[in-house]
């Protein structure tokens, strides 16, 4: 158990931050907005002793808050939802509300103070965004190619084929641009560049696959 440390579990939703603090078992609710984040930082600075903040990975709802806390030099970590769920079941807790979740997160942090991960660097966050965007565009291109193949079996006007070709060329250009940006981001960070070199030494893994693996590994909570 963490001693002489204030532990704060926060349940992050689209609109709200529901918190639970140890010691004292105090609760709070703030807006999940820049103004709410500022109020939270101010409140944390008034808390006694070192303060440790934890919240679940919520599909991106927590990232702005996370970056704000780290920028304010506050110890904040992202916790794996699967472990929080297992912890809740071990306690016999089946009800689920924002208030209950915040308390569970705080109690889990007392039980497993080493759990969670630190905020990835800005470059790695950019890499994650770029690889996600590339995957989206590649999927769009795949669907377009399937539509083009289906239309070629029909008697379609030439101008429609021209529109298809223009759209495919635009998607090809965007994929190429994103791949160049991904390579540039990886090259800017020594650790990521070294991981990329190691991954590319494995047969069948090229620049794109290595970048996606690096981004996914950095995005997964420990």
DSSP conformation letters of 191-213: HHHHHHHHHHTSTT--HHHHHHH
Longest Cα–Cα distance of the chain, Å, equals 76
CB atoms within 10 A of CB 107: 19
* Whole-prediction pTM: 0.62
| CB-based contacts of 7, cutoff 8 Å, min separation 6 | 21, 22, 51, 52, 54, 106, 109, 110
Distance CA 29, CA 216 (A): 32
Strands (E), the chain: 6-12, 16-22, 26-31, 51-56, 75-79
Show the low-confidence residues of the chain (pLDDT under 50).
Answer: 1-3, 221-222
**Structure confidence at residue 169 (pLDDT):** 94
Closest to 164 measured CA to CA, from 150, 174, 177: 150
Supply the pLDDT for residue 95. 56
């Amino acid at each position: 158990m963490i001693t002489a440390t204030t532990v704060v579990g926060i349940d992050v939703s689209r609109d709200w931050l529901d918190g639970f603090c140890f010691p004292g078992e105090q609760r709070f609710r703030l807006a999940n907005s820049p103004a709410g984040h500022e109020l939270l930082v101010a409140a944390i600075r008034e808390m006694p002793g070192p303060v440790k903040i934890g919240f679940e990975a919520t599909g991106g709802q927590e990232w702005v808050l996370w970056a704000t806390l780290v920028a304010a030099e506050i110890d904040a970590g992202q916790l794996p939802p699967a472990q929080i769920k297992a912890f809740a079941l071990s306690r016999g807790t089946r009800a689920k509300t924002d208030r209950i979740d915040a308390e569970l997160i705080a109690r889990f942090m007392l039980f497993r103070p080493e759990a969670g991960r630190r905020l990835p660097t800005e470059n790695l966050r950019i890499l994650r965004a770029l690889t996600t965007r590339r995957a989206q565009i590649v999927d769009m291109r795949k669907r377009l190619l399937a539509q083009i193949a289906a239309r070629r079996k029909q008697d379609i006007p030439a101008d429609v084929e021209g529109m298809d070709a223009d759209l495919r060329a635009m998607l090809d250009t965007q994929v190429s641009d994103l791949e160049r940006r991904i390579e540039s981001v990886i090259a800017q960070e020594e650790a990521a560049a070294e991981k990329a070199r190691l991954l590319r030494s494995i047969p069948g893994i090229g620049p794109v696959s290595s970048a996606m693996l690096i981004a996914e590994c950095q995005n997964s909570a420990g």
